[in-house]
Chain A
């Protein structure tokens, strides 16, 4: 995972009426997105240390190039597994709701199934054309940490986590390894090396096992079209390819302007936008309070 931040220089926050932010405190990385009147303005991603500390570094990284201060942001929504530890929020919302809202915003109202494959957990979510969640399924404990295990595996293979996905696609034929437990899978992958299986095949075998593991989760809830994949694993072509061929369904291609890792964070920022507008509306028209 790379730490980065960027700013859309075409927008000027001084002219913006509504400045909101979403913060996603994930198990592996913490992310922030700032919106100006609903338009994406600044983004950042940093590695999580403690949830509190990393939420600050994520929002500060996003603010750094903007001359904005934390106090200039009207409304902040936190999500992710560490959301309760983020000190500067107005509200917290589960990452399930944020995933659906973010995915529908990026890919449009045809999205019905979202697979959020992150560093620590995988979730499958069904949603309406407005991004409201209708059903979801969380991975069981044995399938935790698949995203992170990719980094560990890449380290063992002395490759970058960004390149192993492409290497995995180079082999059609490879031995099968356990697709139930990540610990077993890693141990068996190491055993394959000992039996002199070429590196590309071992990497392919590991990716296939992980894709198989995720596919059982997706299959349990079922896929309704359109299908999108978000989270860190969405950037791994090996996983995506195998997942699609095991499930016999294709996913919408990622949008070039959006990093799929930031989908959930965008969802949080969209909620912040909606909540702030509702708050302002209620202040200006108190008679209709509570009826958006």
Chain B
């Protein structure tokens, strides 16, 4: 990787578009904007805002590497995207950058979650993605928090205070939502409901991971990783130590920067 150049990593996801700006190994600044249904506009806003945060002009960027599900749509003239990299590759490289000892990353995104195993150089060994019924866990989390009138942060904090084990024991996020509402309507304690919701999410994630072997250390990426309750439940359900990465939502973007010119 070039030591001098300032590079931008652009992660165009289903729900949010993330941009990180780095010089060598140093993270200069980052920014998240909702993707909306206009991927290019969101990417442009994110790039401009992140550049502003760092205090450089758009022209000073030595290169932009795009990843994420919408990466191919960002390859249009106004954005000057240098190259693209698949999100699995970027996630592995980004997770390794943030935690040198990690060998597996579980990325819980807005619409898709995946587990990726890699070696000490960040080369992919194994990848697993959710089935369609478990799509949209991230969106589900946002929706259900709103439905019971909490912020995502509050929901996670409340879940840690739960004293009763309520269960949402089904596969589907649509049914889970209505079960959670039913629990609220029965007058259950909101902390217990929040906890049940988080355990539902964790079970879906753990289900996905059962069909592959996970190598230590296991780290979690994606916005949901910021929930301590989720990490706690994931550790206990998978009977393994699991830790959250710092700035978990930028893992893909960081990996994109590191993949610049093949990671040289």
Contact = CB atoms under 8 A, between A and B. Distances in A.
- Tell me whether A and B are bound partners: yes
Interface of A: 25, 27-28, 47-52, 54, 81-82, 84-85, 120-121, 141-145, 148, 152, 155-158, 181-184, 186-187, 190, 193-194, 196, 199, 202
Contacts of A47: 149
Nearest to B72: A194
B172 A181 contact: yes
Contact of A48 (B15, B149, B187): B149
Given A51-B184, A81-B185, A142-B175, A28 B132 contact: no
B111 interface: yes
A52 B185 CA distance: 9
B185 A187 contact: no
B129 to A, nearest CB: 13
B69 A27 contact: no
Contacts of B139: 152, 156, 186
B263 interface: no
B181 A120 contact: yes
Contacts of B135: 183-184, 186-187
Interface residues of B, number: 35
B181 A27 contact: yes
Contacts of A184: 132, 135
A52 B111 CA distance: 33
B132 to A, nearest CB: 6
A183 B174 contact: yes
B86 interface: no
B80 interface: no
A184 B69 CA distance: 17
Given A145-B174, A158-B37, 20 more contacts: A47-B149, A49-B149, A50-B184, A84-B186, A141-B175, A144-B174, A144-B177, A145-B178, A148-B177, A155-B34, A156-B34, A156-B36, A157-B37, A183-B136, A183-B173, A184-B135, A186-B135, A186-B136, A187-B132, A194-B70
A202 B187 contact: no
7 contacts: A141-B178, A145-B174, A148-B143, A156-B35, A156-B36, A183-B132, A183-B173
Interface of B: 14-15, 34-39, 69-70, 73, 111, 132-133, 135-136, 139, 142-143, 147-149, 172-175, 177-178, 181-182, 184-187, 190
Contacts of A54: 149
A184 B39 CA distance: 21
Contacts of B178: 120-121, 141, 144-145
B111 A187 contact: yes
Nearest to B181: A27
B187 A84 contact: yes
